[in-house]
Amino acid sequence: MKNYKPTSPSRRHMTSVSYRGLSRVSPEKSLTVNLPSRSGRNSQGRITVRHQGGGAKKLYRMVDFKCEKRMPAIVETIEYDPYRTAFIAKVRYEDGERHYILAPNGLAVGARVVTAPDAEPSVGNRLQLKHIPIGYQIHNIELHAGKGGQLVRSAGSFAEVLGNAEGYTDIKLSSGEVRRVRSDGYASIGQVSNPEYNLTVIGKAGRSRWLGIRPTVRGTAMNPVDHPYGGGEGRQPRGTRKPKTMWGKVTGGRKTRNKKKRSTQLILKRRK
């Protein structure tokens, strides 16, 4: 982590991730695309995700979560990605094609990675779950074979292989949940890079605005028309028995998962 001299109250406790080990290169132009900023609005122009807007301009890196090319590749760079918490690696395959992949912790420039059903279970390699030894850390896990990795993609996260049986692999996620996944799906070996990301201290409000995060207003500070907690003279109690969202939906400990969801039977142990 990088600390700062206390030249101001906001700098005193501010911390950020050190990017000293990253490659000092511009992103691969053919693997980037400019995404328009929607500020949390849908196609009708209505805000569906609050507290988003502004922020620095950024290019989206097209990360290959499938890794379908069955040939060895060499890691050329380890780069920062403004659209995700983890670092990404640019790899060059034997046929000269370049892709971005999620960089696992410990992957170095010049390393050799390969995707194959029964590849060697070393950091950066991608293989089928049924061929991964028990106890190994994995990330970028496919829920459905061929769809691409959907689980365990954020910085510092990993899942642990617990066992294989009847065409399924039991994995333990970072949350503590134990889940069954089809054994013919692929997963990458290792922990996702940038494990110190959760130690970041923002330090000041302006830094959140740089990241595209707008202020969050308390419900008690609103008017009655805007929130169930709004209104009253001065500081008032919330005036409702249960915690509610600004749309009046009960929250605070209520389970929101659909009880009829088919994949519930694949969850062997719920998270704590």
Give the strands of the sheet with 88-93, arranged side by side: 98-102, 88-93, 73-79, 112-113
172 and 225, same domain (yes or no): no
In a domain, 173, yes or no: yes
Mean pLDDT computed over 7-26: 94
160 and 262, same domain (yes or no): no
**Gap between the Cα atoms of 188 and 240, Å rounded:** 48
192 and 225, same domain (yes or no): no
Give the pLDDT of residue 147. Answer: 94
Domain that holds residue 169: 18-198
Q: Are 103 and 81 in contact (CB under 8 A)?
A: no
Give the pLDDT of residue 252. Answer: 84
In a domain, 4, yes or no: no
pLDDT at 195 > cutoff 90: yes
Mean pLDDT of the chain: 94
182 and 254, same domain (yes or no): no
Instruction: Please state the pTM of the whole predicted model.
Output: 0.90
Residue 29, domain CATH: 2.40.50.140
Element spanning 202, H or E: none
In the three-class reduction of DSSP (H, G, I as helix; E, B as strand; rest coil), residue 196 is classed as helix
Tokens of 150: 């959907």
pLDDT digits (tens, 9 = 90+) for 89-111: 999 999 999 999 999 999 999 99
**Gap between the Cα atoms of 244 and 240, Å rounded:** 8
Q: Which of 98, 38, 96 is nearest to 62 (CA)?
A: 98
In a domain, 208, yes or no: no
122 and 170, same domain (yes or no): yes
169 and 129, same domain (yes or no): yes
| Total number of domains in the chain | 2
Give the pLDDT of residue 253. Answer: 84
pLDDT at 256 > cutoff 90: no
pLDDT digits (tens, 9 = 90+) for 235-254: 999 988 899 999 999 998 88
In a domain, 167, yes or no: yes
Say if strands 73-79 and 60-61 run parallel, antiparallel, or are unpaired: unpaired
Give the pLDDT of residue 254. Answer: 86
CA 120, distance to chain mean position in Å, is 26
Residue 244, domain CATH: 4.10.950.10
164 and 65, same domain (yes or no): yes
